[in-house]
Amino acid sequence: MIDVKKIRDDFPILKRKINGNQLIYFDNAATSQTPQVVIDKISNYYSNYNSNIHRGVHMLSQEATESYEKSRRIIQNQFNAKSSNEIIFTSGTTHGINIVASGYSNFLKKGDEIILSEMEHHSNIVPWQMLCEKTGAIIRIAKMDENGVLILDYFKSICSNKTKLVLVSHVSNALGTINPIESIISIAHSNNAVVLIDGAQAAPHIKIDLQKLDVDFYVVSGHKLMGPTGIGVLYGKESLLDMLPPYQGGGEMIEEVTFSKTTYAKLPHKFEAGTPNISGGIALGTAISYLNEIGFDSISKYEKSLLDYSTFKLLEIDGLKIYGESNQKTAVISFNIESIHPYDLGTILDKLGIAVRTGHHCAQPIMDHFNIPGTIRASFSFYNTKEEIDIMVEAIKRAKLMLA
């Protein structure tokens, strides 16, 4: 069970007032808020052992290295990766996808195919378009239906022995749809295709077991997982990461450098060139431990109750339409109100201290699918409450009168 009152005390920002109103933060799908333990971890790093990792013999460097590598193991355990070598620190989901997309330019050729779903974030579209431009491979789109649900039979029909890569989000950031990635992975593997799952929206809400999923690559962002910005994780099966060329050259990623030849460091360092976001990496481990203390079962259950409640309350509003009506959703609601521009409504909600997101949510193909310019998106976390939802619903009703 979630003790929401106690949990809210962990997040100092939730005490903030906006235009004299108590902040109501419903933009968790863009960035989650940061608990005090994570803030303290960052501050403690800079106050007590700030130094470069893997290099110095001195005490500070040893402490920083130990904390950084401990965090890698926390992440490995959290996602049940076989080895900590498979956990690559990145700057976020976008960076992780680019490492893989750039590496595969060495392995794809003209006539090869890759499959993207129609509901991908731009981060999981553009790097693959760049890959296809370089290699002559072509993109095929796995379509979704009117409820924002991936059409599995259609996916099956376009997956063939030409398919080299399958790139699908675990959860859609704009619709909240949870995709059947177990089936997608198994269909892809039966065609010998490699699968990358964009887990940015799933990892904060669902317990992930990478070995059980048998997924090839999985990427997440720290700032959606109660961690800091500028840190994320690329998971890859060790054999695949070994095969991929490094993404950047520099310090830390080498074994030996001479002007005639450089040999690369072993995993995971091969992909971690330069001085990384050390405090971010350390604090991400703390964020994940914090989530685990609350427990993913409790988080899922509680957030589902917020989703059900807000869906019910919002649908009472005349002319309101929800986009994304899968029965497998995280707590994300995308909606529009007849004849009101999402931006106008978002602006009024902001004046009242309610933070929602308006626009295409970096997923323009979804908006094209529904033939709309954008939506208003409210995305909830376990520190949100039904009272906050009530306040938003009342605010929308008032805004609707003002804008009509």
Ligand X SMILES: *Cc1c(COP(=O)(O)O)cnc(C)c1O
Instruction: Write the DSSP symbol of residue 15.
Output: G
Instruction: Write the DSSP symbol of residue 171.
Output: B
Candidates 32, 124, 330, 381: give the one binding ligand X (CB under 6 A): 124
Sketch the per residue contact string, 152 through 191, with ligand X: x for CB under 6 A, - otherwise: -----------------x---x------------------
Cα distance between residue 106 and residue 226, in whole Å: 35
Q: Residue 114: beta bridge partners? A: 139, 165
> Which among 118-126, 236-244, 282-290, 375-383 is the span making contact with ligand X, rule CB under 6 A?
118-126
Cβ closest to ligand X, residue 29 vs residue 210: 29
What the block records as the tokens of 278 is: 């050390």
Examine the residue annotation and report whether 362 is marked as an active-site residue of this protein.
Answer: yes
Is residue 90 within 8 Å of residue 234, measured between CB atoms? yes
Cα distance between residue 30 and residue 381, in whole Å: 11
> Which among 88-96, 188-196, 252-260, 375-383 is the span making contact with ligand X, rule CB under 6 A?
88-96
Report strand pairing: 354-355 vs 24-25: parallel
Cβ closest to ligand X, residue 219 vs residue 314: 219
Instruction: Write the DSSP symbol of residue 232.
Output: E
Report if residue 34 touches ligand X, rule: CB under 6 A.
no
First-to-final CA distance of the chain: 41
At residue 375, φ and ψ (nearest 5 deg) are -140, 175
Tokens 């306040």 correspond to what residue? 391
Cβ closest to ligand X, residue 221 vs residue 385: 221
Candidates 34, 93, 135, 384: give the one binding ligand X (CB under 6 A): 93
Cβ closest to ligand X, residue 164 vs residue 205: 205
C-beta of 173: minimal distance to ligand X in Å?
3
Q: Catalytic one among 287, 294, 345, 362?
A: 362
> Which among 105-113, 151-159, 198-206, 263-271 is the span making contact with ligand X, rule CB under 6 A?
198-206
Cβ closest to ligand X, residue 200 vs residue 278: 200
Cα distance between residue 330 and residue 215, in whole Å: 21
Candidates 78, 179, 201, 385: give the one binding ligand X (CB under 6 A): 201
Q: 220: closest CA among 211, 208, 246?
A: 208
Report if residue 92 touches ligand X, rule: CB under 6 A.
yes
Report if residue 121 touches ligand X, rule: CB under 6 A.
yes
Cβ closest to ligand X, residue 227 vs residue 285: 227
Report if residue 98 touches ligand X, rule: CB under 6 A.
no
The residues near 293 (Cβ < 8 Å, ≥ 6 apart) are: none
Tokens 């920083």 correspond to what residue? 64
Candidates 221, 358, 379, 384: give the one binding ligand X (CB under 6 A): 221
> Which among 50-58, 120-128, 234-242, 369-377 is the span making contact with ligand X, rule CB under 6 A?
120-128
Is residue 50 within 8 Å of residue 275, measured between CB atoms? no
Cβ closest to ligand X, residue 32 vs residue 85: 32
Q: Residue 319: beta bridge partners? A: none
C-beta of 268: minimal distance to ligand X in Å?
19
**Which own/partner contact pairs does 260-268 have at CB distance under 8 Å and 24+ positions apart?**
266/85, 267/85, 267/86, 267/88, 267/238, 267/241, 267/242, 268/72, 268/84, 268/85, 268/86, 268/87, 268/88, 268/89, 268/241
Sketch the per residue contact string, 39 through 78, with ligand X: x for CB under 6 A, - otherwise: ----------------------------------------
Cα distance between residue 92 and residue 157, in whole Å: 32
Candidates 10, 113, 118, 198: give the one binding ligand X (CB under 6 A): 198
C-beta of 330: minimal distance to ligand X in Å?
11
Cβ closest to ligand X, residue 196 vs residue 200: 200
Give the DSSP H/E element, type plus range, for residue 135.
helix 126-135
Report if residue 27 touches ligand X, rule: CB under 6 A.
no
Question: 3: number of CA atoms within 13 Å, CB side?
Answer: 6
Candidates 32, 67, 123, 330: give the one binding ligand X (CB under 6 A): 123
Using CB under 6 A, list all residues that contact ligand X. Answer: 92-94, 121, 123-124, 169, 173, 198, 200-201, 221
> Which residues are catalytically annotated?
362
